[in-house]
Amino acid sequence: MSSQTPIKTNYNLPKPTAAYLPSDKNSPLYANRELYDGIIKTDKNGERELVEKFIIPIRSGKAWKVPKGYICRIITIEGPQVADLNIWNFNNPRERMWAARTRQLQSAHVSIYDRLWSNLPYLRPLCTIIGDSLQSRGQDEWGGRLHDLLGTRCDPYVDTLLSGDSIDFHCHSNLTRSILPYGLNEFDVHDVLNVFQLTGLNENDQYFMESCPAKKGDYFEFFAETDLLCALSTCPGGDLSTWGWSENDDDMIACCRPLGIEVYKITNEKALENWSESKPVNYKGLHGLKEPVFKK
């Protein structure tokens, strides 16, 4: 239980507004609805070409490229399953998804038209979410929402800390193995987007997870704003209906399911005629430095 003294609030004051608000409607925080609606419609209009398709088995991970201007879809091919997503700039993996800033610029749980932003000194949208079959679910009775940036990946270090067990198929480990063929390693794994995961904060401001509500065939889809390297882990907790710290447990394994990945090229050039690759923020300062910092 929290020992903090409750903060007294003047309920006659207006509710606080978001801290990070754009200066105008043309801000890159706002996805151009007309543009992205046109990109979304390429699905129903048959204006997409499937260029890659594969399955990620249970308790494993895989990395793959999504070229700029292409679409990636994550699918619950057999039923509910949560997944941990990492994203990098394919051509410069020092640039990667920044979960904390995305929480501030967009929201703690993301859906259609939200954008996933990169770390400093780049700070640009790496992708824009354009499909979410679970979007209409909204908030449940506990305040839980889907596709969260609140928590991060499960890992063998916290498992060993809390349970004394050493499990090699946590999301951190799955992501680590998946990116080795691309010249990356454990230090490149970063805070994730928990796709299909239902989470929130309880009355003590503590992170909670609920069972995944996805059904067979549900999907989450994003549009690449630059060349991306993506990696996804099928969480060893499966649909989280029996979550605990004993991942070798038969009940836990029974609620694990594979996920499908599809990558599409847009064949209707008109859908992209007003789109251009995202660019890093044009800050050219030196953080207040006026002279070289290294002196003898």
Mind listing the pLDDT tens digit for each residue in 43-94?
999 999 999 999 999 999 999 999 999 999 999 999 999 999 999 999 999 9
Kindly tell me the sign of the dihedral angle through the C-alpha atoms of 33, 34, 36, 38.
positive
Judged by DSSP in three states, 87 sits in: strand
CB 39, CB 230: distance < 8 Å:
no
Mind listing the pLDDT tens digit for each residue in 209-265?
999 999 999 999 999 999 999 999 999 999 999 876 555 566 789 999 999 999 999
Mean of pLDDT over the chain: 91
- pTM for the full model? 0.92
Burial of 244 (0-12, 13-18, 19+ CB in 10 A): exposed
CA distance 122 to 112: 23
